[in-house]
Every structure is written in C-alpha cells, then in structure tokens.
Homo-oligomer: A and B are copies of this chain.
Amino acid sequence: MSSIAQRPQRADARRNREKILAAASVAFAESGLEAQVEDIARRAGVGVGTVYRHFPTKEALVEALAAEHFEDLAAIAEAALEEQGDAWEVFAGAVWRSANAAAADVAWCEIIGGHPTAVQAASRGRQRLAGAMTTLIGRAQAAGLMRADATVDDVRTIMCGFGHVAAAQRAGGALDWERYLEIALDGLRAR
C-alpha cells in the first residue's frame, strides 16, 4: 500500500506548476474569478492541457489561491496579536491591513465576499484567522473599547460587505471601500 515512493516530480513540471499559480494569481486579481482558464494558460506560457494536469479543475485552482489568501490574512491577524498598545487600535489596524491587502485584487475581494467555491476550501487558514481575530476582539472588549456583543461573525459579515463594495468600486461604481470600513468599524466600537 505504502509503496507510493514513485519517481519525484519532474523539474519542468514543478516549474510549470509555479508559473500557472502565478499567472492565475495575476489573472484573477485583474479579472476576478471568472478569468478564463485559457487566459491563465497563455499568461503562464503553457497549454490548457498543462493547467489541467496540475489542477483537475478550475475550481481547484481557485481553491488553491483562496487558501493562500486566507493564510495571508491569518498572518496579518496573528502578527497583530504581538502588538502592544490600545487594543481597539490593534484590532482595527489588523482589519485595515487585511482590507488594503485585498482591495487591489478582484478575486480576493470576491473570495472575502463569500464566493461559494472559496467558502468551502481554505479551512485551515480561515480557522487560524478566526482564532486570532477572536483574541483581538476579546482584548478590545475587555478594554471596554468594543461593543460587548461583537463576535468574529460580525467581523466576517463586515468583511463580506467590504469585499463586494471594493469589487463594485473597481467595477466603476462610485463607491469607496475605505469610507465603508470607517463606518462599519465605527459600528463595532463601544459607545
């Protein structure tokens, strides 16, 4: 059973996998999750067949990138755990940093906004993110700076709205995601 010690992946294959991931990242950032597989292949300089050799389905590609993004968000939140000072500012800073990271990337906005495919996957990063956020929220509440009934889900909900506002803004709507966050975070503050 455990004789799966096959010959390791060929070097060019490993390289192609990376190229595809990078190309997909760019394409999705520009065009959102409806970017086309053929476009991704072209950017990566490979044929569509190669993309499908590495990722059985377009959805798998999306999941891989979504997982990556959630890991990034988790890293931001975990870094905030180390910060000293006003607990509200630490929390809000983490949210702002997350938003800034995501805002320029259409697909990232869609993922945060709750795109069905992305919601399933990325459980590991999402859990790390939720864990760190819970702590940040707890501290801000303990300091009396955040409304006592706030939960991680509230933050998730706000970030869902954020994702779509940012996406709509990039699509040309006269919206402003920074303003959105300002208001929404104010709504989480203690009165």
Interface, chain A (partner B; CB < 8 A)? 113-114, 116, 119, 147, 153-154, 156-158, 160-165, 168, 171-176, 179-180, 182-188, 191
Contact = CB atoms under 8 A, between A and B. Distances in A.
A156 B171 contact: no
Q: Is the interface of A mostly helix, strand, loop or mixed?
A: helix
B188 A191 contact: no
Could you say how many copies of this chain the assembly holds? Answer: 2
Contact of A160 (B114, B165, B172, B191): B165
A160 B185 contact: no
A100 B13 CA distance: 53
Contacts of A176: 153, 157
A167 to B, nearest CB: 9
A44 to B, nearest CB: 29
Contacts of A164: 113-114, 160-161, 163-164
A114 B175 contact: yes
Contacts of A182: 187
The 6 closest A-B pairs by CB, nearest first: A161-B161, A187-B187, A164-B164, A183-B187, A186-B187, A114-B168
B165 A180 contact: no
Contacts of A179: 153-154, 157
Given A158-B161, A161-B162, 15 more contacts: A113-B164, A114-B164, A116-B172, A147-B186, A154-B179, A158-B180, A158-B183, A160-B164, A160-B173, A160-B175, A161-B184, A183-B184, A184-B187, A186-B187, A187-B188
Nearest to A162: B161
A168 B160 contact: yes
Contacts of A153: 174-176, 179
Contact of A173 (B119, B185, B188): B119
Contact of A175 (B156, B184, B185, B191): B156
Nearest to A114: B168
